A and B are shown apart, each in its own frame.
Chain A
């Protein structure tokens, strides 16, 4: 029997669905026309404009500082939360589960306003710090649930075996837990990073003067801005992301698998 062609076509369709928009955006970033549709010639002028635009760069810097800090903090706290949730089944942990779960279902606008009210009441000055704190708040939950998923398949006897062989907790964490849970933690961290870079609603409310992030800036461009500059910026972002992925794959291939 001839193998079915359906999987091949499905794969192609999915790939097209995922990557065509990116291709279109890349092409548009070199299009001299400000409005999509017609091709008016090749240009680098949007890239030139991008490099002159001070506000976009400060927003980009803010976005990266927030995303990296938030990822670092929420990955640690989220992974610890997942471990505790997995390991202990007391009533306190049931409450803990609920508290961790809540930010996933609370609407962004509610969270943004309530965090802002919270900061204002405690007289905390709004700035990048408050944005990072807010992002950590919702990223913890995502990290925790991704790591928790990985823990479902985790065999606790591995830890017991290590203990039998005389390993202390430090060694167990670095030699057993981290290697096994690593992919889950990494996935959680990447999710946290993406969510942080993406977030508009919460950020808008908790950002102080001088700490606008890229999404806040882009949304505001709806009124007067030219999105072509944003196309150019996105292409640069994408290039960096792809480069990081390719490089990391290159390195991981040279290393023995655990």
Chain B
């Protein structure tokens, strides 16, 4: 009977440990709710040391599930990192606080060009931009040589069955809209119709519409040109010297994740300190070098290494950036796109 008693004792102890572990020590903690591997761990340590606190990171896998959780009333988080469109929704829902600019002196570093052209929240009323990524084209340098940086590459019949576009209506049709010189958030039926025709032409040359296997596909040389997200493609390029990247000159879609402070944040002061810390030029540059997305921080641009600055996937040329847009949630008008997508897919 002894071993059994010991078993129950240890089991109860473990259960107790579980409940106890839920409570922290006496140090203050800042709770960050974000995507995995989205901050340089060295910066986490530096922030903890500078502010005598713990920085606890929890992660979510989609904007929507994060919103559902917070709407249901989950509390305890201070700073959240949603995509821009979701930050706008959270603001409308009254989940996040207004940013007090006096508490974040480093906001002056944030790239004014980004705020003016791309940002939804142009005055940083409720959000501070954290990281930008873009959609571009990765191509095989040895097979294609010098290419004209344009969406027109998908017209090339000599690359038939060796190219892919993203299996996402807003990205694929958005590429065609940009190619035609229209906004990728257009709700004009005539413009969408034109783009559908372009996309149907491209479809003839594609291997497939694909959002997953294009990464190993371009890496192994199966595909010669693929539309994809900069973050993914950079990882592939890291391992394969033969892959080049460009952002089409007609413009592309840009995605931005923002820093926001929850209304019921337990530690608002630490939250402000954290945002100020991340918008500091040196820290923003260090973070960009680590996560390989671009922190839109004008002062930090000067500190970036030559390697990053010359990498268009991380650091898009400013004239292309000006022509680019952030994909907006169009609400009821989204059906214009889903119908157009059906037409492209079915070929009618």
The reply to whether B61 and A219 contact each other, CB–CB distance below 8 Å, is yes
| Contact A204/B17 with A35-B236, A126-B76, A220-B35 known, Cβ cut-off 8 Å | no
Cα separation A69 to B19 with both chains bound (whole Å): 10
Cα separation A208 to B61 with both chains bound (whole Å): 15
Q: Is B102 an interface residue (CB 8 A)?
A: no
Q: Is A241 an interface residue (CB 8 A)?
A: no
B216 contacts across to A, CB distance below 8 A: 35-37
B59 in complex: contacting residue of A69, A73, A220, CB < 8 Å: A220
Cα separation A226 to B238 with both chains bound (whole Å): 13
Cα separation A216 to B66 with both chains bound (whole Å): 12
Chain A binding site: helix, strand, loop or mixed by DSSP?
A: helix
Cα separation A221 to B291 with both chains bound (whole Å): 13
Q: Is B73 an interface residue (CB 8 A)?
A: yes
The reply to whether B73 and A224 contact each other, CB–CB distance below 8 Å, is no
A223 contacts across to B, CB distance below 8 A: 35-36, 38, 61, 231
Cα separation A53 to B75 with both chains bound (whole Å): 26
Q: How many of chain A's residues touch chain B, expressed as a range? A: 35 or more
The reply to whether B18 and A55 contact each other, CB–CB distance below 8 Å, is no
Closest Cβ–Cβ distance, residue A212 to chain B (whole Å): 5
Q: Is A120 an interface residue (CB 8 A)?
A: yes
A35 contacts across to B, CB distance below 8 A: 215-216, 219, 235-236, 239
Cα separation A73 to B8 with both chains bound (whole Å): 10
Q: Is A205 an interface residue (CB 8 A)?
A: yes
Q: Is A111 an interface residue (CB 8 A)?
A: no
The reply to whether A72 and B11 contact each other, CB–CB distance below 8 Å, is yes
Cα separation A208 to B33 with both chains bound (whole Å): 10
Closest Cβ–Cβ distance, residue B46 to chain A (whole Å): 14
Q: How many B residues face the partner with a CB closer than 8 A?
A: 47
Nearest CB to that of A208 among chain B residues? B76
The proximity string for B residues 1-41 relative to A, scoring 1 for CB distances below 8 Å and 0 otherwise, is: 10010000001101101110111100001010101111001
| Contact A221/B56 with A117-B72, A174-B1 known, Cβ cut-off 8 Å | no
Instruction: Please name 24 pairs of A and B residues whose Cβ atoms are closer than 8 Å in the assembled complex, sorted by A.
Output: A33-B239, A34-B235, A52-B41, A55-B36, A55-B59, A65-B14, A68-B14, A72-B12, A72-B14, A121-B73, A127-B21, A127-B22, A128-B18, A128-B19, A132-B15, A132-B18, A204-B65, A209-B29, A209-B31, A210-B22, A211-B58, A220-B59, A224-B36, A225-B36
- Assuming A38-B220, A217-B59, A219-B61, what are 10 further A-B pairs, CB within 8 angstroms? A69-B14, A72-B15, A113-B68, A127-B19, A132-B15, A210-B24, A210-B56, A217-B36, A224-B35, A225-B37
Rank and list the top 7 A-B pairs by shortest CB-CB distance, nearest first.
A127-B22, A220-B59, A120-B73, A72-B11, A220-B36, A219-B61, A209-B31
